[in-house]
Amino acid sequence: MNSALVDKSSWTIISESPVPALEIVLPNQTLILAWNQFVYAEGSGDEVRMAFASHDLIVKGTGLLPLLHAIPGHHLASIRQVTRVERFSSAEARFIREIQIRRVEAE
């Protein structure tokens, strides 16, 4: 597998082929969402919003444009919120500071 890592602890982009799911790693929880449930994404270098059939995600950080550009082709394999210590001990300008997950409730 040929993977391009941007700030090894923040996200993984698989360049050669689409991946079937997105793994979201939080300090106390891991969630896996299938890309076939993906609805849309929008954002900027500081915030990316992703909508899936069952969950909405808000990713906040710095230098997030490569992450945003990997979403349409389903090349984003995983995202991970870095710890406070990792943020201040790394010289990297790209990292995920916060991931908010909200379950979409059926009405």
Q: Residue count of the chain, please give it.
A: 107
Distance, in Å, from the CA atom of 54 to the CA atom of 34, rounded to the nearest integer, reads: 10
12-24 per-position pLDDT tens digit: 999 999 999 999 9
Do residues 8 and 77 touch, judged by C-beta distance below 8 A? no
21-78 per-position pLDDT tens digit: 999 999 889 999 999 999 999 999 999 999 999 999 999 999 999 999 999 999 999 9
Which of 101, 106, 98, 22 is closest to 61 using CA atoms? 98
Q: pTM of the prediction?
A: 0.83
